[in-house]
Structure 1
Amino acid sequence: MSVCSSTRSDGEPTDELESVSWYHYDLTRHATEALLLSNGVDGSFLLRSSQKGPDCFALSVRAKDSVRHFHVRRICGRYSFGFNEFPSLLEFTSHMANQPLLGSESGNLIVLKHPYPREVEEPSIYESVSVHTAVQSGRRHSDLVPTAPALGTKEGYLVKQGAIIKSWKQRWFTLSRNELKYFKDKMFEEPIRTLDLTACSAVQFDYSQERVNCFCLVFPERTFYLCARTGAEADEWIKILRWKLSQIRKGR
């Protein structure tokens, strides 16, 4: 009986799989959904390990306001995806580049547009980030453009409660790297304050206020209370902020 091993003795993936920039080894299903819904766009996708076994994976794709998961198996170096089987990872990624449509359970088609990289260097000024893009819709593997939008960012208006006078004022918030800044308005260049998320201990919904769609950021010296226009928007902020905190705790 031959043994086909595709993982190292320590359980980590082989070099071939590590070379895929959009393969996320330790990302859970729940974390994947939060990540793609918070940071991704329609068509964002990634490959992750599945709990079904060491040679089982999931291709996760954001489709509008949901995330779909598709099973991928690896047997003796061959990749099984749906009714197709590919002799190598290169063949598999080439297939994804040239056949980017996937049928969901509802019968709709999902287009793979934006690979979500495992590691992205976040510059101090967010414009764009150069990454190795393994797949881009409508292009061959050799023609892929090595650029992708910056990840881990969010901006928008929130209503913030004052520290001393408990009045509520609308402020423009931007999230980049480990900093959450808020400005008097969108057109102002200098922030009123910059919050260092490395000092933040928790982000959670808050129901103690008279307003709805509120959440809070807990810091040693103060808890900041913020409100979004909708519950969905508040949820997006909470998800991306919690993801940031999880990355900080992992030391990334």
Structure 2
Amino acid sequence: MSDSNSLRSDSSLTHLEDELETVGWYHYDLSRHAAEALLLSNGQDGSYLLRNSNEGSSFFALSVRAKDSVKHFQVTRMDNHYCFGFNKFPSLRDFINHFANQPLVGSETGTLIVLKCPYPRAVEEPSIYESVRVHTAMKTGRTENDLVPNAPSLGTKEGYLVKQGAIVKNWKMRWFTLNRNELKYFKDKMFDEPIRTLDLTACTAVQFDYSQERVNCFCLVFPERTFYLCAKTGVEADEWIKILRWKLSQIRKNR
């Protein structure tokens, strides 16, 4: 290949890579199993994302949630075109517009899957997003059936917090778990039955609290009561606040 052809090829490749950067649902080197964990835990039927394939730099995978499973479709970049099934697109924008106008893909079983909503790369819970990636990467020797159920769900959290009593205003250590729209607290980690389950759909606010004579304190505001909780560190309190606020934003968005 001549120097001029090589330069044109490099320039085209750079252009394609720049194009990919503009796609909010392109997740770079997200693994197959991490994609499944994210889409199953935090997506919905029809959620989809684009990621790199391990077959090489010109290969990508479109991962789509179809009810309770995730399907993967190959996308190939050849001669400045994107190839998907029998379709060939001259640009990434054409490739994206194809999904907007014809949001259907056929699985290996012959069923049609509707592409409803792209799964954004800019997840609002970066530390949890990263934990999914790390957790699944550590389990690469296991099967898909082992990996997905055991991967930490995006939007879950657990840990010890000190909680103020409702009537007697003393403080006691409790084990908290957050899953879906429920925040449960237990007498200790080993207990199966929670003392109480808080329904976050009724929560109106989550914020740092400076009214108590304690550090790293935050509160959850409900119509009938405000719950005061304290974390061991400011970083931990901030993590709880961020994920709880994210939960409230998702609840409001779905109303």
TM-score normalised by structure 1 residue count: 0.54
Deviations 1:119-138 (A, max 9, x none): 1457xxxxxxxxxxxxxxxx
The answer (yes or no) to whether the contact 1:171–1:182 under 8 Å persists in 2 is no
1:95 aligns with 2:125: no
Q: Percent identity?
A: 51
SS in 1 for 2:51: strand
- Equivalent residues in 2 for 1:205-224 (5 A)? none
2:229 aligns with: 193
Larger mean CA deviation between 165-174 and 18-27 belongs to: 165-174
- Equivalent residues in 2 for 1:9-48 (5 A)? 14-48=17-51
1:157, CA displacement in angstroms? 3.5
2:197 aligns with: 171
1:51, CA displacement in angstroms? 0.4
Deviations 1:5-33 (A, max 9, x none): 4656xxxx711111111111021111100
Task: List runs of 5+ in structure 2 lacking aligned partners.
Answer: 126-153, 157-178, 201-205, 209-217, 238-242, 244-255
SS in 2 for 1:20: coil
SS in 1 for 2:64: strand
The answer (yes or no) to whether the contact 2:63–2:70 under 8 Å persists in 1 is yes
Task: List runs of 5+ in structure 1 lacking aligned partners.
Answer: 123-150, 201-239, 241-252
2-side partners of 1:82 and 1:162: how far apart? Answer: 55
- Equivalent residues in 2 for 1:94-173 (5 A)? 94-120=97-123, 155-157=180-182, 160-163=185-188, 168-172=194-198
1:96, CA displacement in angstroms? 1.0
The counterpart of 2:66, out of the listed 60, 63, 67, is 63
1-side partners of 2:68 and 2:40: how far apart? Answer: 7
1:168, CA displacement in angstroms? 3.5
Please state which structure has a larger fraction of its residues in helix.
Answer: 2
2-side partners of 1:39 and 1:69: how far apart? Answer: 17
2-side partners of 1:98 and 1:16: how far apart? Answer: 20
Larger Rg: 2
1-side partners of 2:81 and 2:189: how far apart? Answer: 63
The answer (yes or no) to whether the contact 1:7–1:54 under 8 Å persists in 2 is no
Root mean square deviation, CA, Å? 4.1
1:37, CA displacement in angstroms? 0.6
2-side partners of 1:66 and 1:28: how far apart? Answer: 16
TM-score normalised by structure 2 residue count: 0.54
* Partner amino acid, structure 2, of 1:193: L
